[in-house]
A and B are shown apart, each in its own frame.
Chain A
């Protein structure tokens, strides 16, 4: 063989990856296994007894209309959040990249929301859109739009998408901006001299060169929408009205943490884990082919 291993030592490579292995086992594989084990039981909240029920907890999920509704809501929600936060992140990055004066000021301004905790962000948007005292709700009322997200499911969904995206735009902006900075200026200048307008330059040069960043962000954003938006939902709508914003991770919390239905909630988190794993695999299989490195 031409490529002989650099490590002559047989055990050193294993020792070197051991910390990572231990961490993965302790913080991922083991809890995931526990969740799976728990999903096969119906357990007393106090831990005084557990009854083995096999796949019952999963079967119940499939026949429960509200769970299927929650899956649909989650898919719509995560697509909407990913599209909004990626779209605006990219838009702002392109604009900020072209700005000559006061760029630092704009950048700081756009990065700010990322420093806000999800729950705080939720409260902030809730105040703005509060049907009784919210400034935005009041303005909408003046324009003839009756705002009541406590009863109107579409408005509630719009509000949580807005609140969740607003936070994530900053993160995406940072990565896109860094990606744009890495594009050699000479390429853009050459295209400009050949008469390509800003639109053309963006789509044929900048965007393809940004695609690794965009792909990475897509994966991160989908995971964000599935898991990290919990605080926003908790603060703004509590899953309502009538399940319109009851995304999967909130349902896991509601049934497990509040309802103390540990088995059912564990089954939900196993399904959630499978969905996200599946989505990530699809992303890597399908979209990664279009990514230029």
Chain B
């Protein structure tokens, strides 16, 4: 039903199914993108379908593939990347799709820290970056004023965060700072930001035989520091994923590390003026800060369809990566511009003069050319590994374990998952 390969232009357009996980305002935007593309030509019709959360969308796509009723395009969150790669024959790499369809395609137009996440070591792009974000520091300007801090000067380093927090506690706040996505921000991004690997083989990019190395001094120190700060109220843990967002928007914690994509939510919910700063770093680490890494999702093309709809997918991808579409997506949603041209266009539009906060995540990503350790994190079973990491972090923050032994334990458990996967690979 999805694709009638012989459909003639002008009569009925060839349908391209796109399963995604964008709800609410973002879902409307996705519909608008598809409608705009559909209006621009008559041969193809992109049909976006909302399939639930990121994990539900991936599972739905995979189940549909097994039943041979899968969509052409599937939106997959960043932790699912290795799973999709391991899918081998189930996936049609984007670089292959573009060459076969004769669409002009240059991976160089993408911002390296974004594209690098989804390319092979040889530089071949596997999936099209779509909605990408990176962690930043949000801070409450009114609280800063109350505590006698400069509301235009967010803390740049972790020791500064501590000092600022102490002032805020003195001013009557019960919490200095909190965080969302603790594994992504305080473990994975912490590594990239300081150019310290969290796994072998270039954080997993160079092969499935990679293993985690979570017990390096930086991570042990940072996590132990969080636990010590937790005792003093300087840091307060707000729960998994972004469950702690209310800690910032309610005014309880005046500083908060969250995805850059959280901006719109805070804008809608926080009743105070807030600013955005760079993610803090440890100044005693040489070369820091390096660059942060992205989260979010990319678009994967599934194999097993006829040739004609794939041409439509390729055209649609060209449309999606065009500067105008990208700049508009970036400016209306708060996600990052994935191409350099879209970034330049937003600059030219004067977008960052109105909203300086929107440029900070891009500056972070492009601060330095990505290294072997700051390209991203790509391990198989990453979803389960994140569960293991959450457990370890929680056991340290609640005082049950010391950082070093907890991280070692998590590392061993994660590496057992990785070796099991590797052993059973065809």
Given contacts A133-B246, A133-B250, contact A66 B391 (CB under 8 A): yes
Q: Are A240 and B390 in contact (CB under 8 A)?
A: yes
The CA-CA distance from A258 to B397 in the complex, in Å, is: 25
Given contacts A132-B246, A133-B246, contact A44 B86 (CB under 8 A): yes
Q: Are B398 and A151 in contact (CB under 8 A)?
A: yes
Q: Are B62 and A242 in contact (CB under 8 A)?
A: no
Q: Are A257 and B394 in contact (CB under 8 A)?
A: no
Q: Are A242 and B400 in contact (CB under 8 A)?
A: yes
Identify the stretch in A21-29, A46-54, A186-194, A279-287 within 8 Å (CB) of chain B at 4 or more residues: A46-54
The CA-CA distance from A132 to B83 in the complex, in Å, is: 36
Interface residues on B, range: 35 or more
- Known A-B contacts: A44-B86, A254-B384. Give 17 more (CB < 8 A): A45-B87, A46-B87, A47-B65, A130-B246, A131-B238, A133-B246, A133-B250, A153-B398, A240-B240, A241-B391, A241-B395, A242-B395, A242-B398, A258-B55, A258-B384, A259-B384, A261-B384
What B residues does A66 contact at CB under 8 A?
Answer: 388, 391, 413
Could you tell me how many residues of chain A have their Cβ less than 8 Å away from some Cβ of chain B?
34
B384 in complex: contacting residue of A53, A132, A255, CB < 8 Å: A255
Residue of B nearest to A133 (CB): B246
What B residues does A152 contact at CB under 8 A?
Answer: 398
Task: Mark each residue of chain A from 228 to 247: 1 if its CB lies under 8 Å from any CB of chain B, else 0.
Answer: 00000000001111110000
Complex A-B: 22 CB contacts under 8 Å: A42-B420, A46-B65, A48-B89, A48-B90, A53-B424, A64-B413, A66-B413, A150-B240, A150-B243, A151-B237, A152-B398, A239-B387, A240-B240, A240-B390, A240-B391, A241-B395, A242-B400, A254-B384, A257-B55, A258-B55, A258-B383, A258-B384
What B residues does A46 contact at CB under 8 A?
Answer: 62, 65-66, 87, 89-90
Q: Is B162 in the interface zone, CB < 8 Å from A?
A: no
Residue of A nearest to B238 (CB): A150
Most chain B CB neighbours (cut-off 10 Å) among A47, A133, A242, A243: A242
A261 in complex: contacting residue of B381, B388, B416, CB < 8 Å: B381
Residue of B nearest to A259 (CB): B384
Task: Mark each residue of chain A from 66 to 95: 1 if its CB lies under 8 Å from any CB of chain B, else 0.
Answer: 100000000000000000000000000000
- The 6 A-B residue pairs with the shortest CB-CB distance, nearest first, are A150-B239, A42-B424, A241-B394, A259-B384, A46-B90, A47-B66
Q: Is A260 in the interface zone, CB < 8 Å from B?
A: yes
Q: Is B426 in the interface zone, CB < 8 Å from A?
A: yes
The CA-CA distance from A141 to B420 in the complex, in Å, is: 46
What A residues does B250 contact at CB under 8 A?
Answer: 132-133
Q: Are A243 and B240 in contact (CB under 8 A)?
A: no
